[in-house]
A and B are shown apart, each in its own frame.
Chain A
Amino acid sequence: MNDSNLSDTRITRCFANLAKQNRKAFVAFLTGGDPDYQTSKQLVSGLPAAGVDLIEIGMPFSDPMADGPSIQVSSQRALRNGMTLVKTLDLVREFRKTDDATPIVLMGYYNPIYRYGAHHFVQECAEIGVDGLIIVDLPPEEDKELCEPALTAGLHWVRLVTPSTDDDRIDAVLHNVSGFVYYISVLGVTGTRRAMADHIEVAVSRLRKYTSLPIAVGFGIKTPEHAKAVAEHADGIVVGSAIVDMVKANLDESGKPNAELVDRVHDFVRDIAKGVENA
C-alpha cells in the first residue's frame, strides 16, 4: 500500500511538533454523543484548550466486546439518547468548523460502518476531516474490509498492539499502520487493570525495534501521576475510561447532565494534561 499521502497530516504534524518541544502527546477519548449530542459537542470542542493533543471519538456500538464497564455504559447512554454513526460524523464536521489543527481519530466496531457502507464511510471521513480510524474488531487478517479502503482515502489506520502480540505477529500487526501505534498496556478490556510502568518500559523498547512510528500507551490510566509515569516511557498516553467516568459522575438520577458537567470534565482533563506535561 502506497501511503505517501499520509506523510504530512494533522497526526504526523502533531507528533512532530511535540517531539520538537520534547513533549509527550495526550490523547483523550470520549464516546461520541455521551451523554447527549449537545453536551458531547461542548465536551469535544473544549478538549484542545484543556491540553489535549489528539482526540479519539468513540462511535457507540450496542455490543462493545473489547470495552470495560465505563465505556460500555457510556455507549449505552449515547445510543439511548439517539446517537448514530451519522451523528458522530456530524460531531466531527461541527468541530472542524472552528479547529482545523487537532487530529481526530474515530474508534469503534465494524458493524455500524459495514451497514453504512465501508467505502462511503472512509470517503466521508476523509472529506470532513477525520484523520484516522481505530476499529477494534478488524485484525490484519481482515485488512481488505476497511483498512485498505481507508488508506486509499487518505486516512491513517491505527492498530492496537497488545501484550499478547508475539514476535510472530508483530510485523503483520504493524503492516499498514501509520500515524501512531497504540500499545495496550494490559491484557483485558478498557478501563480495568492498571499497568505497571516497568512493564511499559520493556514493552515500548521492544516495539521500537519494529517501528519508528510514535507509540501511545493506553488502558487503565486514571490519574495525573499515572499519566506522567507512563508518558515517561512512551511518546504519548491515552486516557478514556477515567474521562468517561467523570461524565457519568455528573449525571443526575434520570441521566441528565448537571450544570457543571462540561467544566468538571475539562478540569479533570486539564489535570491529566499537567501530568503529561511534567513527564
Chain B
Amino acid sequence: MVPLNSNINSETDSFRSGPDETGHFGIYGGRFVAETLMPLILNVEKAYRAASNDPEFQSEFDYYAEHYIGRPSPLYHAARLSEHLGGPKIYFKRDELNHTGAHKINNTLGQILLARRMKKTRIIAETGAGQHGVATATVCALFDLPCVVYMGETDIERQAPNVFRMKLLGAEVIPVTSGTGTLKDAMNEALRDWVANVDTTFYIIGTVAGPHPYPEMVRNFQSVIGNETREQILEAENRLPDCLVACIGGGSNAMGLFHPFLDHPDIQIIGVEAAGLGIETGKHAASITGGQPGVLHGNRTYLLQTDDGQIIDAHSISAGLDYPGIGPEHSWLHESGRVSYVSVTDQEALEAFQLCCQTEGIIPALEPAHALAHVMKISKQFDPSQILVMNMCGRGDKDVFSVAEALGTKL
C-alpha cells in the first residue's frame, strides 16, 4: 500500500521540478526554433507565467472545464474487466466522456484562454487523428476566433469524420502534402504558417512537444487529469494507486495523468507506445523503444530517425499515436528510470479494443486501447488488493471505420 505522505518534497529529489528556466528536462527539451519564432516563443512564455500566477485565469479555466468540458471526468471502477483479467482493481479515468471525446480539449481550452489574453486574433493547429484539430476548432467556435488546422493528406483520408467535424465547427482544414503528408509534416506546416504570421497568430500545439514552454504548459493544462484522479482515488479507496498506465503519442494524456504522482516512488508508472506491425519490422511509432535522441519541432527528444538524422515516418493503426517523436519530459523520465516505456502492436490494441467493448460497454479510442492491451499483459503481476488506474483518454466513435476495416467488416 502506498502511504499518503510519500511525496518527495526536497527539490533535488523531485521528478516534478522540470523544466529548468531554459526549458530543459535534463538534456531534453529546449528551444530549437528559427530566429523568427524566438521573440514569439519568449512572449508566449512570459504571458503563460503571468497567467499561471493570476487566479482569474485559473478560475476562468475551471469554469469552462466544469460547464463546457464536463469536468471532473469520473474515475470508474471497471469491475467486469477487472474480474475478467483476474489481476488488480482497474479504474478508468474517463476523459473519453469530455466534450469532443478526448483529453485534447483540456489543453486547447487552456491555450485559447492564453491566446485571448495575448490578444491574438487567429489560431492555428496541427492534427493527426483529428482529435486535437476538433478540440481546437471547438474552442475557436466558442470564443469566435478564426481557426486553421493543418492535417496530413494521408490522415485526412483515414479520419474523414473528424475532417467534417472541424469544418462544421468553422475551421479551415488545410491538407499537407509536403514531406510524407502525416502529422510531423502538419506540424512543420503549422510552424511555417506561424513564422509568416507572428503578429496575429497563436499556435495551439496538441501535445507535450514543441519548443519551451509548450511541453510544460500543455502538461500543466493536462494535469487536471492526474489531480482529479488523486482526489477521486483517495475518496474511493482512501489511498493512492499502485500503478498508472497511459498511452503515448506525443505524451500529453500520459504526462497529465503521471505528473502529480511522479514523486510517489512506490507507484509504478508505465507509458505505452505504439509498436505498429512490430518494432522489428520498423513500421511502428515507438520513439523511446525504437528511436534515438535527436532534435525536431523545437525540442531534443527521442525520435524515429535514420543514421543520417533524417526523420522516419511512424506507423500505427491509431492515427493519434502516429508521431515519430515524444514529449521531451518523457525522454527524461525514461532516462532517469522513473517511468517505464513499453510498446503494444496494432493487433494487441485491436484485441483490447474489443475486450473493452464487450466487458465494459465502452468503445475506447484506439489510442487508449494500446494502454489497455498493456494492462491485459501485466494484470497477472498484480493481485485484487492492488489498484491500477488507466487513462481512458478518448472514445472510439472516430475509429469504428478503421477498426471495421482491420477486422475485415464492410460497413
Q: Spell out A's residues near B (CB within 8 Å).
A: 61-66, 68-69, 72, 76, 79, 84-86, 109-116, 136-139, 141-142, 159-162, 164-166, 168-169, 173, 184, 187-189, 192-193
Bound Cα distance from A136 to B37, whole angstroms: 11
A63 x B184 contact (CB < 8 A): yes
Determine which residue in A65, A79, A84, A111 has the highest number of CB atoms from chain B within 10 A of its CB, and name it. A65
Residues of B close to A109: CB separation below 8 A? 295
Bound form: Cα–Cα A84–B306 in Å: 10
Partner of B310, one of A61, A160, A162: A61
Residues in chain B near residue A187, CB distance under 8 A: 36, 195-198
Complex-state Cα separation, A6 to B195, whole angstroms = 32
Min CB–CB distance B29 → chain A (angstroms): 11
Say if the beta carbon of B305 comes within 8 Å of chain A: yes
Do residues A142 and B32 form an inter-chain contact, with CB atoms below 8 A?
Answer: yes
CA distance A159 to B227 in the complex (A): 43
Q: What's the least CB distance linking B205 to chain A, in Å?
A: 13
The answer to whether B292 has its CB under 8 Å from any CB of chain A is yes
Query: In angstroms, how far is the closest chain A Cβ from the Cβ of B343?
Result: 22
B297 at the interface (CB under 8 A from A): yes
Count of A-B contacts with CB under 8 A? 117
Contact A63 B39 (CB under 8 A): no
8 more contacts with CB within 8 A, not counting A68-B192, A184-B35, A188-B196, are A63-B297, A112-B309, A115-B292, A139-B31, A139-B35, A142-B32, A173-B35, A187-B195
Contact between A164 and B39 (Cβ–Cβ < 8 Å)? Answer: yes
Contact bitstring B175-202, A, C-beta under 8 A = 1, else 0: 0001100001100100110011110000
| CA A60 to CA B311, docked complex, whole Å | 12
18 cross-chain CB contacts under 8 A: A63-B184, A65-B297, A79-B310, A85-B309, A114-B295, A115-B294, A136-B34, A139-B34, A139-B35, A139-B38, A141-B30, A141-B31, A142-B32, A160-B34, A160-B35, A164-B38, A189-B192, A193-B196
Least Cβ–Cβ distance between B292 and chain A, in angstroms: 7
Is there contact, CB below 8 Å, between B294 and A111?
A: yes
Check A63–B311 contact: CB distance below 8 A. yes
A65 touches B31 (CB 8 A): no
User: Which residue of chain B lies nearest to A85 when distances are taken between CB atoms in the complex?
Assistant: B308
B307 at the interface (CB under 8 A from A): yes
Majority SS at the chain B contact face = mixed
Most chain B Cβ neighbours within 10 Å, of A111, A166, A187, A192 = A111
Q: How far is the CA of A106 from the CA of B32 in the complex (A)?
A: 18
Tell me, rounded to whole Å, the shortest Cβ–Cβ distance linking A169 to chain B.
Answer: 6
Q: Which chain B positions have C-beta within 8 A of A79? A: 310
- In the complex, are the beta carbons of A162 and B36 less than 8 A apart? yes
The reply to whether the CB of B218 lies closer than 8 angstroms to some CB of chain A is: no
Q: Range of interface residues on chain B?
A: 35 or more
Residues of A within 8 A of B188 (CB): 63-65
Tell whether, in the assembled complex, residue B38 and residue A169 are in contact, meaning their CB atoms are under 8 Å apart.
yes
A72 contacts B191, C-beta separation under 8 Å: no
Q: A85-B308, A115-B308 are in contact. Are A110 and B295 (CB under 8 A)?
A: yes
Give B222-275 interface residues, CB cut-off 8 Å to A: none
* Bound-complex Cα distance A193 to B296 (A): 25
Q: Interface 1/0s, chain B 25-45, versus A by CB < 8 A?
A: 000001111111111100000
Distance (whole angstroms) from the CB of B252 to the closest CB of chain A: 21
Nearest B residue to A184 via CB reads B36
B381 lies within 8 A of chain A by Cβ: no
> B34–A65 contact, CB under 8 A?
yes
CA distance A104 to B307 in the complex (A): 25
Contact, CB under 8 Å: A114 / B294: yes
Beta-carbon contact of B179 and A112 below 8 Å: no
CB of B22 within 8 A of chain A? yes
Q: Which residue of A lies closest to B32 (CB)?
A: A137
Q: List the A side residues contacting B36 at CB < 8 Å.
A: 66, 160, 162, 164, 184, 187-188
Which chain B positions have C-beta within 8 A of A110? 32, 295
Supposing A72-B179, A169-B38 touch, asked if A111 and B192 sit within 8 A by C-beta, the answer is no
Contact A111 B31 (CB under 8 A): no
CB-CB under 8 A from A138, the residues of chain B are 32
Assuming the contacts A160-B35, A162-B36, A164-B40, asked whether A137 and B295 have C-beta atoms less than 8 A apart, the reply is yes
Q: Are B195 and A189 in contact (CB under 8 A)?
A: yes
- State which of A72, A111, A188 has its C-beta within 8 Å of the C-beta of B311: A111
Please tell me if the beta carbons of B35 and A162 are within 8 angstroms of each other in the complex: yes
Distance (Å) between the CB of B342 and the closest chain A CB? 25
Q: How far is the CA of A168 from the CA of B295 in the complex (A)?
A: 27
Chain B residues with Cβ under 8 A from A159's Cβ? 35
Q: Are B35 and A165 in contact (CB under 8 A)?
A: yes
A46 CB, min distance to chain B CBs, angstroms: 27
Nearest-Cβ distance from residue B214 to partner chain A, whole angstroms: 15
Residues of chain A lying within 8 A (CB to CB) of residue B198: 164, 187
Q: How far is the CA of A227 from the CA of B197 in the complex (A)?
A: 25
Q: Are B178 and A139 in contact (CB under 8 A)?
A: no
Query: Provided the pairs A62-B179, A66-B192, A68-B192 are in contact, do residues A111 and B305 lie with their beta carbons within 8 angstroms?
Result: yes
Query: Across chains A and B, which 8 residue pairs bring their CB atoms closest together, nearest first?
Result: A112-B309, A115-B309, A188-B196, A62-B310, A66-B34, A84-B308, A162-B36, A111-B309
Question: How many angstroms from the CA of A115 to the CA of B303 in the assembled complex?
Answer: 11
Instruction: Give the contacting residue for A113; candidates B37, B178, B305, B309; CB below 8 A.
Output: B309
Q: How far is the CB of B287 from chain A (nearest CB, A)?
A: 13
